[in-house]
A and B are shown apart, each in its own frame.
Chain A
Amino acid sequence: MKGLAPLFLGIFGTFAFSWVGLTMIPNWQIGHLDPQMEEDGTDVYPQPQSGMVERGSRVYAANGCIYCHSQQVRADYAADDIERKWGDRRSAPRDYIFERPIFLGKMRMGQDLSNIGARAPAEQENVPPAGAASPAAQGGAAAAPPAASVAPTGANPSPPAKAGSPPPGGPAPKATTSPPPAGSPPAGAGSPAVHSASPAPTASAAPNPKAPPASPSPSAVAKASPAASPSPPAGSPGTSPGASPSSPPPKAPAGPAPKAPLASPSPSAIANASPGGTTSVSSGTPAAEARPVQTTGEPPMYSAAWQHVHLYSPRRINVDSNMPSYRFLYQMRRISDVPSDDALKFSGSEAPPEGWEIVPTYDAKCLVAYLISLNQSHPLKEVRSAAPAASPPAAPGK
């Protein structure tokens, strides 16, 4: 090749072509979207991030959550994301107009998080028919009014038999499988009396760190309890320590009720959870088989308190989790007067020593606020929601 001019022109020309084609034109096409709203200006979606949420997204960026978690739901014809209950519709450009930075993600070593806020407890109460367990639910509700919305979660009566079915797995699996009933959110939130009062959490805490005995359980769990929502039999061990190995399902509804009063003094954990609950819109989808299962003695799944426990000690929630622990976002401190409302409630080996408590730092609270804000369940006009049949691509912006 002779002469620099054609070389320079070619080098600039090819790159300019790509630059204009892949960044400028898309920017012209979908770079200036407005939130969607009703004609009278109500029901605005999405909304700008608030202070804590915005800071939480920076914590998310700083600690590299994006390297394992995506935040995008692919369309039903393209993938099985919707069947996995990661969302009830595909994600669209408009969902992200206030996100900065954006965390679409490229790897799923962890769950997709686009709708993790929508899964916070309040929605789950809609899922189970509140039949047999209602006494328990009422017990919980009576004990802790703010918990009312949460309590029925645990009261899901449907799968006692199924949850009971893993006995072959022995006591260890049962402990993991067993979700806390109405009584347990308060227990999680509970008073110092918690360890002594509830053998169930201790039972679960012990096997948790040990992968081998528990490892058969997750699959069993997943298959055994289609309604991944917390199922009550779990509660039964809590009722009577002696009974825990056998864990008779019928006792379950009865179990939580007596415990509820015990835990009632500290509904704070539940209060924390409520923001998530208020924003969420019911997806109307019973939890998938593949959904993770509520762990005994822990706060209700996806509540703020649960998020804190999960960030602090992921394998306490799911023995098979591959997630690193984010203990550095928490601090252990001496209890000054009364225990803090937001202290993490642990029993067993991870419990802080007497007179100490583990509290989330401000960054941890922001991160959890951010996670709970992740919610794409609001319908978008350009996207067909929960379409069971294959639909054409949403072709946003066209």
Chain B
Amino acid sequence: MNASGIPLKEPSVSAAAADAEQVERALIDASTRVPVLMFYTSAMAWLIIGTLLAGFVSFKLHSPDLFSDISFLTWGRVRPAHMNVMVYGWASMAGMGTAIWLMARLCRTVLRYPLLLVAGAGFWNLGVLLGVGGILVGDSTGYQWLEFPHYAAIVLFVAYTLVVSWAVLMFRFRRGEQIYITQWYLLGAFLWFPWLYAAGQLMLFVVPVQGVLQAAVGWWYANNLLFLWFGAIGLGTAYYMIPKVIGRPVYSYHLATIGFWTYALFSSWTGMQRLVDGPFPAWMITASIAATILTIIPVATVGLNHHMTMQGYFPLLRYSPTLRFTVFGAISYTVFSVVGVLISLRSVARYVNFTQASIAYSHLGLYAFFTMVIFGSMYYIVPRLVGREWRYASLIKLHFWASVYGIGLMTLMLLAGGFLQGANMENPSLAFSETTETVLPYLRGRSLSGLLLTASHFIFAYHFGLMLLGLGRTSTVPTFLNPVEAEGSEAHL
């Protein structure tokens, strides 16, 4: 411990052992360089594309006459294109990049079979490209979250098979008996996703279920994708990054176990609450509402665990970019879950079911929670891959605050607008067009928040580009957000 309180050196480890461990880690990191950077670079490209599409979607929603003559720029095509680019292009690829790196680190073995991953990344990019192109030319399947036409879905599935077979192989080469919490989540995510994706595709396209069940399968898929794929990767990453950066073990393994299993059990039963009062047997919806309420248990245990781990180390948020992003994401996970519970209650859902509030919910989960955690992990991992440190602390700060204010404003605007929209919709004496007019000011506010997020993404992409080009700082000390007198070379930040 130095004056700043940052554990730059672990006193208990002898110098020789620490050096050996350093070398081993460096070797593992070097072996992950090509595949992980490939996933990250593709993800960044998709992030920028998705951001531009998002801007277009947001503005066109309150200015509907933009480009009406061009079929592939119609709102109903660009919106799913944006959503799918963000979900499958950005979030999935960045998440897989982080997951691969974590797997190698936690299995304590150099990355084997990198070609599987390189091919996987290539096919994944091809799949997203085909899918988004398909949506824009009018081949969308019409199922929310599964709009990619079948030719893209097949390519994605092939890509995914490559990645998951790599993960299973890696697990066989792991060293050490202990399986760390992060690995539970990652293994879960890697195994749940293909099942989920295959089940969704089969039940909707190959042997389609009848009528309303398509919607049930669709939302079951969408919610599980959010929780069991993105949520699991995000939580696993947070469980690694927070203890790692502050140099302190997780507060309670026992709590983590409870958190993981209740998460797997309850969050997988959510989804139908989004169809509340729809043409379904009431028990399906009620079961999902109950499951959503029960997700409070994993949320509370995970939140408590992170909080107790961080206890006494909160001042570090001043210095470490990774910690700052990750902790923000972890807090957002709680907010996301609480909002999810609130809007799933029947008395509330009556007002918000068909409004912008559900968009706010998705953004809380995919952006405020997952994307922020992944940003944090990228700030940690990329320097270890390229051998350079982030060049400008100021850019990191700008990125952080633009993202925080952007997503905060967006969530507030969409939630407030959604509640008003719903309240007006439930007032039949008001013309319907008034309910949509009510939201317009909020949608303009959302566009404003979109500008902030766009700025933040461009800043990050620029900074990331500098790192890729080897223009980062050559230094043994990581980039702190604020100056700190560093005295050791073995920094974890």
Contact = CB atoms under 8 A, between A and B. Distances in A.
Q: Among B171, B195, B428, find the residue whose CB has the most chain A CB atoms closer than 10 A.
A: B428
Interface stretch (B110-118, B263-271, B453-461): B263-271
A388 to B, nearest CB: 14
B436 interface: yes
A333 to B, nearest CB: 15
Contacts of A103: 142
A18 B269 contact: yes
A33 interface: yes
A66 B68 CA distance: 18
Interface in B56-74: 60-62, 64-65, 68-71, 74
B89 to A, nearest CB: 18
B267 to A, nearest CB: 9
A80 B359 CA distance: 22
Nearest to A63: B76
A393 interface: yes
B213 A30 contact: yes
Interface stretch (B203-211, B380-388, B391-399): B203-211
Nearest to B136: A62
Interface string B68-88: 111100111101100000000
Contacts of A290: 428-432
Nearest to B350: A79
A368 interface: no
Contact of A328 (B74, B204, B261, B434): B74
Contact of B209 (A31, A70, A322, A395): A31
Interface string A312-325: 00110010111111
A381 interface: no
B274 to A, nearest CB: 7
A31 B213 contact: yes
A317 to B, nearest CB: 11
Contacts of A321: 64, 433
B355 A107 contact: yes
Contact of A15 (B76, B187, B268): B268
B78 to A, nearest CB: 8
Given A30-B212, A96-B212, A324 B433 contact: no
Q: Is the interface of B mostly helix, strand, loop or mixed?
A: helix
A348 interface: no
B284 A22 contact: yes
A250 B210 CA distance: 55
Contacts of B257: 1
Q: Among B79, B80, B171, B425, find the residue whose CB has the most chain A CB atoms closer than 10 A.
A: B425
A289 B428 CA distance: 8
Contacts of A104: 212, 215, 275, 278-279
Nearest to B146: A101
Contact of B60 (A95, A102, A289, A324): A324
A119 interface: no
B199 A19 contact: yes
A18 B68 CA distance: 43
Contact of A22 (B187, B272, B359, B434): B272
Interface of B: 60-62, 64-65, 68-71, 74-77, 79-80, 138-144, 171, 177-179, 184, 187-188, 191-192, 195-196, 199, 203-204, 208-217, 220, 224, 228, 257, 261, 264-265, 268-269, 271-272, 274-282, 284, 287-288, 346, 350, 353-356, 358-359, 425-437, 439-440
Interface of A: 1-2, 4, 7-8, 10-12, 14-15, 17-19, 21-23, 26-27, 29-33, 57-58, 60-68, 70, 72, 74-75, 78-80, 83-84, 90-111, 218-219, 221-222, 288-292, 314-315, 318, 320-329, 393, 395-398
Chain A to chain B: the 9 pairs with minimum beta-carbon distance, closest first: A64-B76, A61-B142, A222-B431, A18-B268, A62-B138, A96-B211, A325-B68, A108-B354, A328-B71
